[in-house]
Amino acid sequence: MKYRQLGRSALSVSELCLGTMNFGPRTSESDSFEILNQSVNAGINFIDTANQYGGDLGVGATEKILGRWLAEDKSRREHIVLATKAHEPMSDDINDNGLSARHIQMACDASLKRLGVEHIDLYQMHHIDRSAPIEEIWQAMDRLISQGKITYVGSSNFPGWAIARANEKAIARQRLGLISEQSLYNLVERRVELEVLPACREYGLGLIPWSPLAGGLLAGGGDASTGRRQSAEMQKDVAERREQLSQFDRLCRELGESPSAIALSWLLHQRGVAATIIGPASAEQLKSVLQVPDIRLDSPTLEQLDEIFPPCGEAPEAYAW
């Protein structure tokens, strides 16, 4: 496994970040434990979750699974960078969502209890809350840091202007500010290149792409057997991009790697990306991508990928002079 600093912080994280959204609703607890064990054995030290994950099992179920795994061996906590998120509704209570100072404090305390830990390494805002003043947010985050409950703060699904605003306010308070942004980013969906990725580079945030395989679209034709391509929406996407995906599959065969591996590796070749999330539903899926940090794509290959999946460019040059 290879490691990178998370943004401008001194924190080192594995280039593959284990996403846990499948744990519980799609992957059983025992299988989740197997994936976690194999991940740490492979050198993955970055584990990402969210307080809302749980699907049909209910919000918080995934954090509880992680908590039970951590409880099996207390030493595990010392070796992982644990990240979770807050923002999404946790109940029907009108104040049990968003980024009010009240909800941030309560959500953090609840996550700590479910995870069975004393602190969270990276506490992320799951989505921008346009009703919450950034001063209120930083007041709550500063309190959590002073209480020893969180160490670093990150954002997720923030636009470029919100990243700039948050860090300018942090600078004014003589605080570190955001160190990471978790965004939708893959070969098919490249709009973060317009403003989000440039903002991350300017302010020293490490970008953590989610949905790196575009929901399975970039996983290759063989993924159809798993059922991920069986939905009507996915079938429509495949049909609309058939030629593009065929070109991608041919290039991957020439490179001797799976489409999944190349799609993940491509992200790690983008300046500003700190780690890419992988969300295996089984140990087999995990094993199939562990070699990704060792894949090196040369300039001609990267240019071919840009020809197949055109970049967005940076704003405003992408749409103006």
The residues carrying an active-site annotation are: 53
> In three state form, how does the secondary structure of the chain look?
CCEEECCCCCCEEECEEEECCCECCCECHHHHHHHHHHHHHCCCCEEECCCCCCHHHCCCHHHHHHHHHHHHCCCHHHHCEEEEEECCCCCCCCCCCCCCHHHHHHHHHHHHHHHCCCCEEEEEECCCCCCCCHHHHHHHHHHHHHCCCEEEEEEECCCHHHHHHHHHHHHHCCCCCEEEEEEECCCCCCHHHCCHHHHHHHHCCEEEEECCCHHHCCCCHHHHHHCCCCCHHHHHHHHHCHHHHHHHHHHHHHHCCCHHHHHHHHHHCCCCECCEEECCCCHHHHHCCCCHHHCCCCHHHHHHHHHHCCCCCCCCCCCCC
> Dihedral, CA atoms, 220, 226, 232, 238, nearest 10 degrees?
0
Contact present, 126 and 156 (Cβ < 8 Å): yes
* Residues 207, 191: Cα–Cα separation, whole Å: 13
